[in-house]
Amino acid sequence: MALRTPLNRLPKQTLSSLPSSTSALLPRPSNPSPWHRPTPVRSLATIVAPPVTQSSTSRHGPTALVFMNMGGPSTLPEVGPFLSRLFADADLIPLGRLQPYLGPLISRRRTPKIQSQYAAIGGGSPIRKWSEYQSEEMCKLLDERCPESAPHKPYVAFRYADPLTEEMYTRLLEDGFGKQGRAVAFTQYPQYSCSTTGSSLNELWKWRMRLEGKEPEGGGVKWSVIDRWPTHPGLVEAFAQNIEAQLATYPKEVRRDVLLIFSAHSLPMSVVNRGDTYPAEVAATVHAVLTRLRFQNPYRLCWQSQVGPSAWLGAQTSDTVASYVKKGHKDMILIPIAFTSDHIETLFELDQEVIHEAHKEGGTGVKRAESLNGSRVFIEALADVARAHLEGGEICSRQMGIRCQGCKSERCLEQKRFFMGARTGRGVEEVVR
């Protein structure tokens, strides 16, 4: 179950009973899934660390598992810096030549409004707590199931909030992975987009160059990438079980008529039109979940969190729900299909805006499926994705070598050449075109 009440809104006596370690936030269920398969800001000065070591039972370990995500401000004072980084990222929000001027202006104007939204969900995003919990629990499973690459060490690298990519990279070097230690960049966006996973990989490549250089002394960190996993059976099962749990709250006679509204973060149409694979991969996840549910309910896929006046991928989630309520659909389940944990898009945008407005207009049966958060099925899925990657020996997926049809970004090209060049051993010009 998700912690739907933010931690800093719980009574003091409840908070005092919570364990300090995120790895103990939730109990393990008695019946596990049947299928298997605060970081401090650190100095960026030169780091001298011993090489990572191996044991007789761990021929390829230790292994760093780096969870990449956009992140979110954990406290209200962090909202301003978070927005500044977000609106400065042309991969996510392309503003053209005026980005260095418009980005700071937009972030300053939006900060008070966004701070009030984070205040409404408890004073900050829970995404860091969930990311740390998920990565820790996954690594425990990997230590049991993949002894040759053990021990597995969890790291979190956020694009716009602490712990930032440079903080994570500094920790890696301090921990000795700069002497040919193995590290896996594991995107927590199951569906690939140049604006999300691509942006995180660009940032990772940038800090690799800044902190290690093109030819690092000692060999450098040996990177591989899990860049997408939209239809993994465990991911699909985790979504399906959360939908089924919410469907069970409706009377049996109306259950099959409940409308399933799959909601994913939208993209600017300029990104979509240059060939980004995200819409197709989100649709693939939706289709896989519906197949698991045997298409028993009507459904729609829509898109949320549009920012600014430019054209974004639609239809918008808020408009979709409002339209169906007016047409007499009072029973709907919102499913955040592209998110792996709760954050402001679920706790505020869906719960306190979309669902609240629907209830005001008579859509009293509009609800939301739980986010994946601490789902043991989901954590099993994470471990299975990582296990297959570690045992398969791939550096990244074959899709990584295919640029978007309209891509003209030199940074994207160099990043792909860096990761894909290690994959084949061929000249990088032969790998990415």
- The answer, yes or no, to whether the previous bond of 315 is cis (omega within 30 of 0) is yes
Quote the CA–CA distance of 3 and 157 in Å, as a whole number. 22
Which of the following is catalytic: 232, 265, 329, 389? Answer: 232
212 within 8 A of 421, measured Cβ to Cβ: no
Amino acid at 182: R
Q: Which residues 6+ apart lie within 8 Å of 90 measured at CB?
A: 99
- The residue assigned the tokens 């074959």 is 398
How would DSSP label each residue in 200-265? HHHHHHHHHHHHT-SS-TT-EEEEEEE---TT-HHHHHHHHHHHHHHHTTS-TTTGGGPEEEEEEE
Q: Which H or E run contains 302?
A: strand 299-304
Q: Which residues pair with 154 in a beta bridge?
A: 65
Catalytic residue list contains 384: yes
Quote the CA–CA distance of 173 and 216 in Å, as a whole number. 12
Quote the CA–CA distance of 59 and 396 in Å, as a whole number. 21
Catalytic residue list contains 356: no
Q: Which two tokens stand for residue 424?
A: 């084949």
Local structure of 338: helix, strand or coil: coil
Quote the CA–CA distance of 366 and 77 in Å, as a whole number. 33
Which of the following is catalytic: 227, 331, 384, 389? Answer: 384
Amino acid at 131: S
- Could you list the active site residues? 232, 384
